[in-house]
Structure 1
Amino acid sequence: MHKSGKTLACSTAVVLATLAGTSWATEGGGGMYPNGNENYLTGALPPPGFYVLGYASSYRASSLRDNNGDKVPVDFKLQVNAVAPRFIWVSDLPLAGGTLAMHAITPLLELDATVNGQSQRKRELGDIVLGGGAAYHLSEQLHAYVGVDVNAPTGQFDKNDLVNVGRNYWNVEPLVAVSYLQSKGINADLKLMYDYNWKNKDTDYRSGQELHADYALGWGFGNGWVAGVGGYAYRQVTDDQGPNVPAHGNRGRALAIGPSIKYDNGKGFFVTAKWQHETRVANRPQGNEFKLRLTVPF
């Protein structure tokens, strides 16, 4: 990472993007899941029915961080705008003591990257997500969801391009999400995930396994509004494997935090918004992001 040739190669690859994903690790510094994507109500699925969620995000980064967390000496700019519709079906069918729920996400991405004077922009469909699991309503305040997501390599990928919207490999992500809700009082949410990545056959590169969590903590004011903080924590737990992997294994890490709000009308419609700043970053870009999520019942 400290040699100029390897630094440029890693920095050009690092702008790979997926699923509105603006938090990067592993191959090229990129990862399947858009860290910090969830906010309040992440573990509290609604009553049986069909729902459409809309995710929108805007990410800006102007620096790359090496294995020590120091700024890599390259001219680097990255901008990612994304809209990702998510379709959720919550059933009344029993599953493992809870109820069956399934979902699909179809991300639409706009990427604009510049590395040492070279630039490229793309607007395309990214990697589609399919998942399912069991929803639990443990009490009026405490809710949980246990499931598995599968990320399919549907997005475009060309190893010779500066940016790609797809990762070009399969990924399986088991997850647990928990929400504690009060109309007036403490609100707390945590979504814990573990990523297992397959090999990218075009590059013969296999990204390491990843442990990460989205979180939100706020105060409900009794009128549908909640305000507090949110963000994510990320740690790559195994080394990358393949050609040109640095001796340190290219393990990424990051922590993000920022203000977060939610409005819930009590009838199935709600919106969340947050701004998060990345810190303690290694082997990936460092930047800031605004995220918005809207839920509409049908």
Structure 2
Amino acid sequence: MRKYLIAAAAGLGLAAQAAHATEGGASQYPNGAEGFMVGAAPPPGVYFINYTTWYSADRVNDSRGNKLPVKVKVDAVADVPRLLWMSPHQILGANWGMHVFLPLVHLDATLGGWSKREFGLGDMTVSPAVLSWHWKNFHMVSVLDFHLPTGSYNKNDPVNIGVNYLGIEPVLAGTYLSDDGWEASAKLMYAINTRNQDTDYLSGQAFHMDYTLAKHIGDWALGIGGYYYHQTTDDEPGAGGGANGNRGLAFAIGPQVKYDIAGKYSVIGKWQHEAVAENRAQGDKFWVKAIIPF
């Protein structure tokens, strides 16, 4: 059954992936979490940002994107509070800040004749280095994230909340916002994983990105967005994998909307359909995100 192992909630506790792609998911980050204005970090201050999401999948695909003959049903619901502090201090001309994510995950999964229902803390994410630059129409953020193995994990279970390894992820995000309200945003990430000491399995590295194209009209913004995921190195030892080293690939797209309240608060809703998935689960994600300054 290890061939179909799924990390149902990694990083922010949201990504469901098959270990036919990677044992625990080459990225602990929940693909698609960000979108509108992702390259524009807020001014100095303390911010509470809350992500609520539901991921649902009922299939696992092979290396050609075809459904594998195994019964799969995964529903992962997570609420992820994020605390962001942007300081007035500057490094290399950028405002410096820090953040921490605390994912709470409810997992309901069936794989073949095996099933599991669990609620608990997922893998936390912290960064002591959030740097942001601002120009007239362009904004940029650079981050070094550390994904900590704080989520529950049992090597004998094919589905877990945590992945049981440390992830290190450099991030570069940019936002272009034209004078007439057109936005193009992208968050580029590269996942580097350590070895799972319980299984001696090393998940491959991966490039992935969240993207958004949108139009701002008054307090509203409407657009499309999603994510692209591409595993760049083989899993090691890659037991049960194919000739391509279990490399995963995914592309998701869907509508999204943002509403600003009183110029201070923001609420975002979006749906993302995984149109392409290779060596991993394929499903849909729904998001509600709230941004609240203190």
If the TM-score is normalised by the length of the shorter chain, which range does it land in?
over 0.9
Percent identity among equivalent residues?
Answer: 42
Q: CA RMSD in A?
A: 1.5
Q: Does 1:46 align with 2:38?
A: no
Structure 2 gaps of 5+ residues are none
**Compared with structure 1, are the counterparts of its residues 128 and 193 closer, same or farther at alpha carbon in structure 2 (3 Å cutoff)?**
same
Are residue 193 (structure 1) and residue 181 (structure 2) matched? no
Task: Measure how far apart 1:163 and its partner are.
Answer: 2.3
**Residue in 2 that maps onto 1:20:** 13
Aligned to 1:10, which of 3, 9, 32?
3
Q: Distance in 2 between matches of 1:44 and 1:266?
A: 19
Which residue identity is paired with 1:21?
Answer: L
Structure 1 range deviating more: 45-54 or 20-29: 20-29
Aligned match of 2:226 = 231
- The separation in 2 between residues aligned to 1:218 and 1:49, in whole angstroms, is 26
CA 1:285–1:112: 2 relative to 1, 3 Å: same
> CA separation in 2, counterparts of 1:28 and 1:67?
17
Shift of 1:28: 4.5
Q: Residue 94 of structure 1 is aligned with which of 71, 77, 90?
A: 90
Cα distance in 1 between the residues matched to 2:26 and 2:133: 32
1:241 to 231, 236, 242: 236
What is the TM-score with the length of structure 1 in the denominator? Answer: 0.93
CA contact (8 A) 1:14 1:30 kept: no
Corresponding residue for residue 274 of structure 1? 270
- Rounded to whole Å, the distance in 1 between the matches of 2:256 and 2:16 is 18
Partner of 1:143: 139
AA of the residue aligned to 2:66: D
Structure 1 residues 271 and 183: alpha-carbon distance in aligned structure 2, compared to 1, 3 A threshold: farther
> Which of 164, 174, 180 is 1:178 aligned to?
174
How far does residue 17 in structure 1 lie from its aligned partner after superposition? 2.1
The answer to whether the 8 Å contact 2:8/2:14 transfers is: no
Q: Which runs of 5+ in 1 are unaligned?
A: 1-7
CA contact (8 A) 1:229 1:259 kept: yes
Q: How many aligned positions are there?
A: 288
Q: Is the 8 A contact 2:51 2:79 kept in 1?
A: yes
Shift of 1:162: 3.5
Asked whether the equivalents of residues 16 and 30 of structure 1 are also in contact (C-alpha less than 8 Å), the reply is no
Distance 1:137 1:30 in 2: 31
SS in 1 for 2:3: helix
Q: Which residue of 2 aligns with 1:106?
A: 102
Report the secondary structure of 2:283's partner residue: strand
CA distance in 2, matches of 1:211, 1:232: 11
Q: Which deviations, in whole Å up to 9, do the C-alpha atoms of 1:161-198 show, x marking residues without a partner?
A: 24211111111100101112358431111000001100
Provide Cα deviations, 1:107-164, integer angstroms capped at 9, x if missing partner.
Answer: 000111111132101100011101122111122x321101100011111111012421
Match of 1:209 among 205, 208, 221: 205
- Measured after TM superposition, the shift of residue 21 of structure 1 is 2.3
Question: What are the Cα deviations for residues 244-286 of structure 1, in whole angstroms up to 9, with x where unaligned?
Answer: 1523200000000000111123633111111010022101100
Aligned to 1:63: 59
Contact 1:183-1:220 within 8 A present in 2 as well: no
TM-score normalised by the chain length of structure 2: 0.94
Indicate how the Cα distance of structure 1 residues 233 and 243 shifts in structure 2: closer, same or farther if over 3 A, else same: closer
Q: CA deviation at 1:15?
A: 4.2
**Does the Cα contact within 8 Å between 1:23 and 1:31 map onto a contact in 2?**
no
Aligned match for 1:123, one of 102, 119, 124: 119
User: Matched residues in 2 for 1:125 and 1:158: separation?
Assistant: 14
Matched with 1:5 is none
Q: 1:263 to 1:228 in 2, by over 3 A?
A: same
Describe the superposition over 1:39-76 as per-residue Cα deviations: whole angstroms up to 9, x where unpaired: 10211111100000000101110110011111000111
Contact 2:204 2:233 in 1 (8 A): yes
The 2-side partners of 1:91 and 1:67 are apart by 45
SS in 1 for 2:63: coil
> In structure 1, what residue type is equivalent to 2:14?
G
SS of the aligned residue for 2:274 comes to strand
